[in-house]
């Protein structure tokens, strides 16, 4: 498996967009290795199934795109708390289809990437978060990358456990 590192040390928008694209593709590659039944399994090492993780990821991407658009539209715009972090607690993900979640995530991610591409020169803009105060667009995108890496590692671990069990 290729090694991925956090984009937290880079300030370059081009690099941040690249990491968002590449890690999202890797998440998709991992997820499609599972059948729908396997994607719904809960392994002991993780609280969420892959389908629940995919639902969480889709919802996060929706929230992130909304925050990004707000920051680009107006410096200091009010941005909302991330609700998707509650994941399966608030959504009925387990009965949904993995491929639908992954398709929606990929579609929204592509829109996010184009939005960020068009935002060159605006990465210093901020959003006013209810608990954190001012958050720059750069910080927000770095946090998206951190989340993506966590999701990639979690799904990779689940796929490995399922494949090891099936041998």
pLDDT in tens, 67-109: 999 999 999 999 988 877 777 767 778 889 999 999 999 999 9
- What was the pLDDT predicted at 1? 47
Mean pLDDT of 3-31: 82
Q: Mean pLDDT in the chain?
A: 89
- What was the pLDDT predicted at 86? 72
* DSSP secondary structure code for residue 33 in this structure: T
Mean pLDDT of 10-34: 91
What's the angle, vertex CA 89, arms to CA 86 and CA 95, rounded to 5?
120
Mean pLDDT of 106-134: 94
pLDDT category of residue 56 using cuts at 50, 70 and 90? very high
What's the angle, vertex CA 60, arms to CA 134 and CA 159, rounded to 5?
135
Residue scoring higher pLDDT (2 or 142):
142
Cα separation, 128 vs 79, in Å, equals: 6
β-pair type (77-78, 126-129): parallel
Cβ(157)–Cβ(165) below 8 Å = no
Q: 127: which strand partners?
A: 77, 135
What's the whole-model pTM score?
A: 0.89
pLDDT of 128 over the 70 cut = yes
pLDDT category of residue 6 using cuts at 50, 70 and 90? low
């Amino acid at each position: 498996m290729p090694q991925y590192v956090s984009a937290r040390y880079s300030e370059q928008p081009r690099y941040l967009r690249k990491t968002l694209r590449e890690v999202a593709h890797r998440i998709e590659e991992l997820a499609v290795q599972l059948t729908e039944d396997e994607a719904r399994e809960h392994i002991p090492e993780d609280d969420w199934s892959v389908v629940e993780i995919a639902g969480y990821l889709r919802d996060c991407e929706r929230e992130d795109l909304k925050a990004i658009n707000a920051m680009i539209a107006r410096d200091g715009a009010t941005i909302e708390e991330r609700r998707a972090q509650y994941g399966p607690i608030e959504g009925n993900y387990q009965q949904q289809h993995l491929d639908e979640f992954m398709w929606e995530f990929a579609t929204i991610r592509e829109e996010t990437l184009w939005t960020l591409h068009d935002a060159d020169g605006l990465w210093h803009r901020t959003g006013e978060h209810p608990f954190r105060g001012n958050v720059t667009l750069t910080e927000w995108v770095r946090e998206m990358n951190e989340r993506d890496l966590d999701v990639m590692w979690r799904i990779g671990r689940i796929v490995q456990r399922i494949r090891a069990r099936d041998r």
